[in-house]
A and B are shown apart, each in its own frame.
Chain A
Amino acid sequence: MDDASCQIDGIGPLPVIRPTSVVELGEQIRQAEAVFPLGGRTQLDLGYPPSRDGIALDLTRLDQIIDYPARDMTITVQAGIRLAQLQRVLAGEGQRLPLDVPRAEQATLGGVLATNTSGSRRYGAGTARDYVIGISTVNDEGQETKAGGRVVKNVAGYDLCKLHLGALGTLGVISQVTLKVRPIPEASAVLMFGCETAALPTLLEELHASQTRPICLDLLNAAAVRHAGLLQPKQAWLLVIGFEDSETAVHWQMQQLIRELTRLNVVGTEAAAGAATQPVWQSLTELTAPTGAGFSLQAGVLPSQVAEFAAFAAGLPGDPLIHAHAGNGLVRVHWLQTPDASTAVAHRETLAARAGHLTVLRCPSALKPLLPLWGTPRADAELMRQVKHALDPRGRFNPGRFLQGI
């Protein structure tokens, strides 16, 4: 990777500046016409190309741990810290941030938050929204401003933390974050089993009503299973149910789920426990942004509609990988072979018609003008623009890349 310049979607080269202090970061923002924040550059192809010339601000030198009072289970860090590094520091105290982030050695916390990255554990552990308790961002005037604080419960002032999550850096550059963290659970176990398409709706209903409380309820089609290298798929679908809790609770849930599945005539379950779950979690996490995927979509549907939606998507030509966080209603569809323009447009449209929302996560730059990457505008699109205008009146932050008019 060229350090001195970078391209976003073929636009550029943009000069890359790597501030070593927040003051310098502010200075750069104040002087710039437009600012494109960079973290680990793992999701730089998300969204539209820049609509204006500007500078790329690389945050990776702002990666310090500011305060880690482990006994309070909070940590304050600079946003440029790599996720894997953050997790290593936390693990030193038996703690973690339960977010599943692909390419974690590269990805920075700021980038993870700006894109609201999440994975399989979100079913039981929630998303970034549930862990960010304080945030500092550098505003359009180059000033670092904060919201929230360093305590786990706090309602003083507007919760701007929420606003910056998933905002793709369009409201300011995230510079520092305080997180609520969790103890690493005593035990971890995974149960995997196959099923055919016809049985899928009932099975998902039953899993929803299970006496167990999984942290992960993922659904993969055979192509996704193969790509993830999880095991040799024997049926059209694979369900991956994960538990993380105390030893006793995990053991009981595994036994209980097997009992429930036996009643449903599900056979051939594969189990992994302890360290053996690590590769499974890793595969599921990397599958959220699979290497080599040329065209990736993410749909949101009601959990009760996942079976139908996933089955439909799996039937599309091009052998797509389907990976759903079934309990949350999030379904990702990845094509390894990039379809031609008209097919891509058709795939997007046919899936969008069946989903609550549909985002294009990845596609060739040439296709971007043809695709509404962020889907149909939400009902509150106008209010979002008002918020954008209030916080970034000159449209300096990531212009052109996010929602229309933002």
Chain B
Amino acid sequence: MSVLLERLIATLGREAVLSSPAELLVYECDGYTIEKNRPDVVVFPTSTEQIVQIVRVCNELEVPFLPRGAGTSLAGGVLPVGGGVVISLARMKKIRQVDTRNRYAIVEPGVVNLSLTNYLKPHGWHFAPDPSSQGACTIGGNVATNSGGPHTLKYGVTVNHVLGVELVLPDGRVVTTGGPIEDAPGYDLTGVIVGSEGTFGIVSKIWVRLTRNPEAYRTLLGVFETVDDATNTISDLIGAGIIPAALEMLDAPILSAIEAAFHFGFPLDAGAVLIMEVDGLAAGLDADAERIEKIARRNRAREVRRANTEAERALLWKSRKQAFGAVGRLAPSYCTQDGVVPRTKLPEMLRKIQYIGERYNLKICNVFHAGDGNIHPILLFDERDADQVQRVLKASHDILDECIRLGGSVTGEHGIGVEKIDFMPKLFSPEDLAMMLRLRAAFNPYGRCSPRKMLPTAGACIEQSKVGRRAAL
């Protein structure tokens, strides 16, 4: 048994440590399956103190470590690039405190996003970020990647709903930033820890902002003959100053997969549909819905349906949020991208994606947060076929390059992880990246925590490096 393993078992007990190759298999990647690498050990702390002990052992033995939530990252955020210790926060899942009067809750990082919202439901409140994976993903993971979701168009992303964190720094010190009282003078460290993809330490406790549940919803389904008509509608809605709670687009290929899985009644001959939702007070919602319908019809919507019951609305959202699951019906593997373009550039971007698909002879379907300009093209392939994998990678790169060319970004909510690290120099100058590296060094001077994530040159000093295995490459 290695010294590392011995020390970790002595610290945490055997039931909190995984080390056999079979057990580690699950932890060699996340939702981004193109690159894989096995960690040496996976540990399951149940308290901040245990995280501190783990981090100290890793530092003593000079072993890299990284946090992991539910492993739903789509960018390799929890890929253990340099091996080492994966710190799973799955057993830290207590909702510590809920204070609706002061609009906050304190949760442990392993609390599943949806379970907090479900817990709050009887009180009339919720946690606003609602990524499609919300039934599985953890709030700690949301903090790491600054997650979004369909309703972040109106409500904002994770950082807009995090008031403070307790962080175990990479050297084992514990620090609390922020908290429920607003505007304490000083740097907004919370704001920069959110979205740092685990490179600043291990978040062990989170103060989240709670949001009142909307009194009512109006959920519309616009059916369009062409993708162009749908994207022009999006552009017109935003241009008219309408901010729906959610504005999602699904194209024909994804519709057929979803319909086969959920039988919602989507029209299979449509070019694209838009899910358009307004929420809030009941007063005024009908007028908003009518304005939306009018704009959709002006853009040649064939039909604008309304979800008439709560059950219908729930099924519509289930179909949308589990769209990725339905993709399994179309191909053995898929790779989804997360680019962002200015919202008025969506028609242009979608045409480009179609062109790229044709160029590389790949099927690409689209289901995405249209209101934010956050595209999620899904590239279908078979990971056993090396040539297809190559084409998928090339097509993905072309899509992201186009996002940059149109003035956008390569990731709206999934994160850079390892997947998009090569794009950072395209988005940022060497000076920009140098400032980011300086900031990282303030938190993580030895680069031992989440090495080789997000920034191209980071983590170069890790000794225990293994070359990541690439699927079928």
Contact = CB atoms under 8 A, between A and B. Distances in A.
Contacts of B215: 211
Nearest to B416: A156
A390 B436 CA distance: 10
A217 B447 CA distance: 46
B102 A304 contact: yes
Contact of A165 (B148, B188, B241, B411): B188
B386 to A, nearest CB: 29
Contact of A153 (B190, B243, B372, B416): B372
A246 interface: yes
Contacts of B156: 126, 130
A160 B186 contact: no
Given A379-B176, A380-B176, A153 B102 contact: no
Contact of B184 (A163, A208, A300): A300
B411 A154 contact: yes
B454 interface: yes
A73 B153 CA distance: 12
Interface in B84-123: 101-103
B128 to A, nearest CB: 12
Given A69-B344, A167-B187, A183 B284 contact: no
Interface stretch (A13-21, A144-152, A219-227, A282-290): A144-152
Nearest to A137: B435
A162 interface: yes
Contacts of B439: 158, 160, 163, 387, 390-391
A153 B238 CA distance: 15
Given A72-B344, A211-B215, A213-B212, A374 B186 contact: yes
A373 to B, nearest CB: 9
Contact of B182 (A157, A300, A380, A383): A300
B441 interface: yes
Given A155-B414, A156-B411, A163-B191, A389 B373 contact: no
Interface in B235-253: 235, 238-239, 241-243
Contacts of A328: 182-183
A277 B181 CA distance: 29
B435 A139 contact: yes
Contact of A162 (B192, B432, B435): B192
Interface string A169-207: 001000000000011100000000000000000000100
A233 interface: no
Q: Which residue, B187, B408, B411, B442, has most C-beta atoms of chain A within 10 A? A: B187
Nearest to A255: B283
A391 to B, nearest CB: 6
B186 A378 contact: yes
B37 to A, nearest CB: 23
A142 to B, nearest CB: 10
Interface string A298-309: 101111100000
Contact of B427 (A144, A157, A165, A384): A157
Nearest to B241: A183
Interface string A237-260: 000000001111101110000000
Interface string B136-164: 00000000011010001000110110000
A356 interface: yes
B343 A160 contact: no
B181 A300 contact: yes
A390 B344 CA distance: 38
A95 interface: yes
A111 interface: no
A153 B157 contact: yes
B432 A403 contact: no
Contacts of B342: 69, 72, 74, 150-151
A180 B473 CA distance: 42
Nearest to B410: A156
B180 A157 contact: no
B239 A71 contact: yes
Contacts of A69: 342, 344
Given A74-B342, A384-B186, A153 B212 contact: no
Contacts of A108: none
A183 to B, nearest CB: 3
Q: Which residue, B180, B188, B372, B435, has most C-beta atoms of chain A within 10 A? A: B435
A329 to B, nearest CB: 6
A12 interface: no
A76 to B, nearest CB: 10
A116 interface: yes
A380 B175 contact: yes
Interface string B401-444: 00000011111111110001001100111011111101111110
A126 B441 contact: no
B177 interface: yes
A30 interface: no
B432 A153 contact: no
A182 B369 CA distance: 19
A204 B291 CA distance: 36
B3 interface: no
Q: Which residue, A116, A212, A381, A387, has most C-beta atoms of chain B within 10 A? A: A387
A298 B181 CA distance: 13
A155 B412 CA distance: 5
A349 interface: no
B284 A246 contact: yes
A158 B212 CA distance: 29
Interface string A363-378: 0000000000011001
Given A245-B284, A301-B181, A154 B412 contact: yes
A251 B283 contact: yes
Nearest to A170: B187
B102 A166 contact: no
A152 B414 CA distance: 15
Given A300-B183, A356-B181, 7 more contacts: A143-B431, A154-B408, A157-B433, A166-B188, A246-B284, A249-B280, A249-B283
19 contacts: A71-B235, A145-B429, A145-B431, A147-B436, A153-B412, A156-B411, A156-B416, A157-B424, A158-B192, A159-B195, A171-B187, A183-B242, A245-B284, A252-B283, A300-B184, A302-B102, A329-B102, A330-B183, A380-B177
Q: Which 10 A-B pairs have the closest CB atoms?
A: A162-B191, A183-B241, A252-B283, A356-B181, A249-B284, A248-B284, A390-B442, A71-B239, A153-B412, A154-B409
